[in-house]
Homo-oligomer: A and B are copies of this chain.
Amino acid sequence: METCLFESIYIKQFPFWEQLSDSDRETMCRSSVMVKYPKGTTIHDGSECTGIIIVRSGCLRVYMLSDEGKEITLYRLYPGDICILSASCVLNSITFDVFVDAEEESECCIVGGCAFADISERVPQVKIFALETTVSRFSDVMWVMQQILFMSMDRRLAIFLLDECAKNGEDTIKLTHEQIARYMGSAREVVSRMLKYFASEGIVEVSRKGVLILDKAKLRKLSM
């Protein structure tokens, strides 16, 4: 049976799986698809009910977008993570739109929003799971907000560079100033100015290849 592939995933991902009836399990499996997204694809653009996304491989970026095209990254999703905000039909109390991009080539399992919503209305455990997953993302978003609102720019940039460094296992961050600014929800000029300051302090070296970190200890001190 074709649905077996999903069943083995859902047993691990959904704490409510054992409590579903056979017919609900079948419905959820039948409304599921496995999709491979090339790097850079927009998976969810805020408007439609794309469905529940389970990341199997790669990395997704969840962000907000203003009318003028300004972005702010809310959080990233890695293998095993689940995205509920991409299924607006499941949670009526969510009145904002987020966007989801594949930051690397990513394989995802998508559960159809309607099927999931229907089951979550009947089975409290499913609803609780969807809500709890969303509320834990609320905490992530508050953290981002705190960073943006309360933290000085040097500290934010230091944290960003260290995070990128750790993520990629390389001392060179191969991003343009424009990209760094986008990811941080800041302006290119602000990032360029701060990088120039970091360079003058011997912390980084800025070239066309990207930002090379020279003094990680100093950067760490700034990030604290």
Contacts and interface: CB of A to CB of B under 8 A. Distances in A.
A91 interface: yes
A62 B167 CA distance: 35
B146 A145 contact: no
Interface residues of A, number: 31
A6 B66 CA distance: 44
Contacts of A70: 149-150
Contact of A66 (B64, B91, B149): B149
A94 interface: yes
Interface string A27-54: 0000000000000000000000000000
A134 B130 CA distance: 13
Contacts of A128: 124, 127-128, 131
A78 interface: no
Contacts of A138: 93-94, 134-135, 138, 141
Interface of A is mostly: helix
A112 B25 CA distance: 38
Contacts of A131: 128, 131-132, 134-135
B141 A145 contact: yes
A150 B96 contact: no
A176 interface: no
A119 to B, nearest CB: 14
A95 interface: yes
Interface of A: 64, 66-68, 70, 72, 91, 93-96, 124-125, 127-128, 131-132, 134-136, 138-139, 141-143, 145-146, 148-150, 185
Given A127-B128, A135-B138, 16 more contacts: A67-B150, A70-B150, A93-B132, A93-B138, A93-B139, A94-B135, A94-B139, A96-B146, A131-B135, A134-B135, A134-B138, A135-B135, A138-B138, A141-B141, A141-B142, A148-B149
